[in-house]
Structure 1
């Protein structure tokens, strides 16, 4: 019995695919994800659970054309794991079949999906899993591969463990220095305030000034964008346009439409210049693979 994840960014098509999969007696469970980021998060749980765990996934039925990472990108990421789920591509485009099978896809199903054709894909996946299980030595399940890192979302900070010991004066001074480097001074109504760099989602150039955008507000500082780009590169800030510097970890979505590229950070949609598009895509891919 197969445990299945279906991925498609068009909700009606995803619902139809899930209906057909759940109607197949060989499918134990079928879940849906409406984008590559959600799919990677779900697959991460499956890999951490292991092949016999409660969150395991046997097969991913994957659309190719989606906003942000494509289905081919997701399959390339999965290929780096020791025990990834099988992949079946479900797409309206015939031209990617060679790439799909180079990525060891079990099947390539064209839209609109015919029930009998999908049933054949389920059979192939089931047979493939049966052969793999038969070739595995008794009791050998193999450890899951390293977990994938979601493409986007705010950073989660883990508190340092409490050892119960008071910090020495030298370490306290070092901690204070580190803390100062994590802040930037801004003027607001004649008062100097400090903003945590980790709270800044993106920076916008305004002449010789730069406007810092956080989730709650924006602040103007008299620092050129090029200076901030150089200072904050080690902190994960990347240039995407002559006017914008963004925190890579805060990118929620990468969009490619009719040859133009943009990113969504919260409610803001920012254009990516052609000269920066390839570099940004490569950085996001590396972030997704840890």
Structure 2
């Protein structure tokens, strides 16, 4: 009796574990509706969250948006304050918005390094096979970096307030200035995504980025008024996108409304996305 029961149980178990027939599998797969394709915004935010998770697991990546901005503010304020403006408190009113622009714009170069690193690991090969909006991985990188720019801005403004910076525009002027800076930095980062796809190693990306970004940031009105420069240099500085941005942020935080410089900054932003965004996606699709 016990043997018969055991035999029946074993037979039932074997039947339950038997592999399903191909017809059953086909009916199961075809009969179910496919999950909806994620929208452009949803896919971009997902990749942006991925960028934030990388910071969570490697918190050392926040060094360039915490320690570096603090060092920049303190070093340039106390190094040049007495010589250029007579005192630190007077110079910080001019310097802080400019050094804020300079530091955040310099931080954007690390986007290209991150893109190049993922390419070397082969992650992008998987991204291209996914049924998602094609630019989503790139836009996600940039959205994740916007959070880093915001952290850097908050750190620098906090340090500036501690050592004497007082924005006449109040909280509204500061928020408008930071918002314009974030829009410009998001657009400017497309240059580095292009280099991240174009160059072979992250060292090459870093080297080329330095060659581009140092002249743009230092040859500007971040530290001094361009009127003190030679005429030929003024022609370059006055038409630099960093100069327009620094002037716009400085005036917004001072309670003014520099319409021309705001328009120039937004115009440069549109140009960067239109040109370098298009080149980036072309390289991404062909790589």
- Alignment TM class, shorter chain as reference: under 0.3
Which structure has greater strand proportion? 1
- Where relative contact order (Cα < 8 A, 6+ residues apart) is larger, the structure is 2
Q: Provide TM-score, normalisation by structure 2.
A: 0.24
Q: Provide TM-score, normalisation by structure 1.
A: 0.24
Which structure has greater helix proportion? 2
